[in-house]
A and B are shown apart, each in its own frame.
Chain A
Amino acid sequence: MLDRLTFPQPWLSLSLFLIWQFLSEGVSGGSVVLGLVLAWAIPQMTQGFWPERPSLLKWWRMPGYLVHVLRDIVVASFDVAALILSARQPRSAFVVYPLELTDPLAITVLAGTISLTPGTVTVDVSDDHKSLLIHALDAETDEEVIHSIRNRYERRLLEMFE
């Protein structure tokens, strides 16, 4: 029993604990106790889902990446809004995106980024983790979609993770 009282992922536990303190109405004895319980229990329960130790090597580049993605979300939201309100039919396409990333966490971040930026949704990851299936709402050519994802996001993630 006692050997389970460990924190297999200290950083995850620490962030969970801090997030819980921010979510509670002020730090109190109760919130600290519950925060500790959550910081212990959630990593224990999700341990099986983490393939191995996360490999974010250059984590200090993350804020820059997030700002970049946020700016893209704002710009692309206007494009999608204009498309929805315009009368023409969208040129939808399924695009197979060949991945250069190999790290599972990096692929997850890329897939999430693609889904968050308006105009593209990640539909599936191939079983061999070599390509993503993307649905683009409005794309003239497949190359255009692949090219923009490669240059805008995957390059940066490659620098961060590998």
Chain B
Amino acid sequence: MMHPVAEYAISALLLIGGAFTLVGAIGLARLPDFFSRLHGPTKATTLGVGAIMLSSVIYFSASGEGIGVSEILVTVFLFITAPVSANILAKAAMHIDVPPAEGTRGKPWEQ
């Protein structure tokens, strides 16, 4: 039997995580160009996945199966790899001259 406080915390974190992941997906659909769409899935989801992982850590700690070190590691790996994939996607887009949305200030550089 889990402590009620732990159950509330897990539920709240799952809801927060789900909400942010949903917002990230909406951003992917709604934002005007490739470069701003990159922000949706790589960012709002950072917090989304973070919250879901945290709830998993609390669940396994509270149910007495040892603290969830592997969940923390998954989060750490995600936080290390998400910027790299965003960077590579943006670089590839720049390389094949994906046009930025109208009204974007500045432009990708040539080098």
Contacts and interface: CB of A to CB of B under 8 A. Distances in A.
A95 B109 CA distance: 10
B87 A122 contact: yes
Interface string A116-160: 111101111011000001010101001000000000000000000
Contact of B86 (A19, A77, A121): A121
B31 to A, nearest CB: 7
B36 A119 contact: no
Interface residues of B, number: 43
Nearest to A135: B35
Given A122-B87, A124-B90, A94 B100 contact: yes
B109 A142 contact: no
Contacts of B106: 93-96, 142
Interface string B73-104: 10000011011101100110010000011011
B56 interface: no
Interface residues of A, number: 39
Nearest to A70: B50
A121 B82 CA distance: 11
A114 B87 CA distance: 10
A140 B27 CA distance: 20
Contacts of A92: 32-33, 35-36, 100-101, 103-105
Given A73-B46, A80-B43, A126 B84 contact: no
Interface of A: 19, 22-23, 73-74, 76-77, 80-81, 84-85, 89-96, 111-119, 121-124, 126-127, 133, 135, 137, 139, 142
Interface of B: 20, 23-24, 26-27, 30-33, 35-36, 38-40, 42-44, 46-47, 50, 69-70, 73, 79-80, 82-84, 86-87, 90-91, 94, 100-101, 103-109, 111
